[in-house]
């Protein structure tokens, strides 16, 4: 009778298990790879989708001059333009008298909201006014604050300009600045 050396049995078990393990992990990896590939449709017939565009795409779009109050799920009421993009105020401007201290390079980055846009929605019309800027153009104001678009925003209600230079903030429909961030909102909403 052939005697199988003692260590051979457990060794065989271990090797089988190892082989199984390698095969399975490899299999799982290929599966997830194929899955990730499916995620990218990309290759179908082109369909022109109207996506909300930033101020840089079309600065003369009249909707960009429309003032609108709207509620977001996290920051509450915000002033936006007719395309849903955030409108800002600048702490270094003055309200009495209403005056902008953002010109030239600053105004290229923070584009003044043109006065005289389409009728406002959900904003108190008595708070809306306008000023003549140093370059002679007309800028819309809210509660005395000159209003701006931010060229760094790329989506509706994007607030990427919030807190810039510790002076730029989204403006609420009542003229107050919005300092609340999404992270702070989340902590407040679910904290004790």
Partner 1 sequence: MRSASELATLEFDPPSALVRARPLVRILFVVLAVLTLLAPGTASTAQTTAVSDTDAVLLTKVRQAGLWEMPSGMMAMEKGSPQVKAVGFAIMMDHGRLDVATRALSAKLNSPVPDQPSDEQRGWLLEQMNAAPGPAFDRVFANRLRAAHGQVFAVLAQLRAGTRNDDVRAFATVGNQAVMRHMTMLESTGMVDYTALPEPAVSTTAAPAGAPLGLDTSQIAVVAALFLLVGGGLFYVLRQIKGNRSRGRVRTSSRPATVRTGGSHG
CB of 102 to partner 1, least distance (A): 24
Among 2, 51, 105, 192, binds partner 1 (CB under 8 A): 51
- Going by the DSSP 8-state scheme, the letter that residue 38 receives in this structure is H
CB of 20 to partner 1, least distance (A): 4
| Burial environment of residue 34 by CB neighbours within 10 A (0 to 12, 13 to 18, 19 or more) | exposed
Q: Which two tokens stand for residue 191?
A: 């904290």
Q: Please list every residue from 127 through 156 that binds partner 1, using CB under 8 A.
A: 154-156
Q: Using the rule CB under 8 A, which residue among 158, 176, 180, 181 binds partner 1?
A: 158
**DSSP class of 32:** H
Among 55, 67, 80, 147, binds partner 1 (CB under 8 A): 80
Is there binding between residue 2 and partner 1 (CB under 8 A)? no
Burial 97-113 (b: 16+ CB within 10 A, else e): ebebebeeeebebbbbb
What is the helix (H) or strand (E) element at residue 81, kind and residue range? strand 76-81
Q: How many CB atoms neighbour CB 43 within 10 A?
A: 5
Residue 66 binds to partner 1 (criterion: CB under 8 A):
no
Contact pattern from residue 82 through residue 121 relative to partner 1, giving x for each residue in contact according to CB under 8 A and a dash for the rest = --x-------------------------------------
Among candidates 139, 157, 151, which has minimal Cα distance to 73? Answer: 157
| Least spacing, CB of residue 27 vs partner 1, in Å | 5
Residues 11-30 contacting partner 1, CB under 8 A: 13-14, 16-18, 20-21, 24-25, 27-28
Contact criterion met (CB below 8 Å) for 36 and 56: no
Q: CA-CA distance, 138 to 112, in Å (whole number)?
A: 9
Binding stretches for partner 1 (CB under 8 A): 3, 6-7, 10, 13-14, 16-18, 20-21, 24-25, 27-28, 31-32, 35-36, 38-42, 44, 47, 49-52, 68, 70-75, 80, 84, 154-160, 182-183, 186, 189-190
């Amino acid at each position: 009778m052939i005697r199988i050396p003692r260590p051979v049995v457990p060794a065989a078990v271990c090797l089988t298990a190892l082989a199984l393990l390698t095969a399975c992990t490899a299999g799982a990896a290929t599966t997830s790879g194929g899955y990730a590939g499916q995620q990218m449709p990309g290759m179908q017939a082109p369909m022109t989708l109207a996506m909300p565009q930033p101020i840089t795409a079309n600065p003369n779009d009249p909707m960009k001059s429309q003032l609108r109050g709207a509620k977001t799920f996290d920051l509450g009421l915000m002033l936006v333009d007719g395309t849903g993009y955030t409108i800002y105020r600048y702490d270094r401007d003055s309200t009495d008298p209403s005056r902008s201290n953002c010109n030239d390079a600053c105004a290229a980055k923070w584009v003044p909201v043109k006065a005289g846009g389409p009728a406002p929605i959900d904003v108190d019309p008595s708070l809306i006014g306008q000023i003549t800027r140093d370059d002679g153009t007309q800028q819309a104001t809210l509660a005395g604050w000159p209003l701006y678009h931010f060229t760094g925003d790329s989506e509706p209600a994007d607030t990427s300009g919030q807190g810039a230079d510790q002076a730029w903030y989204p403006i609420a429909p009542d003229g107050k600045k919005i300092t609340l961030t999404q992270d702070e909102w989340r902590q407040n909403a679910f904290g004790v």
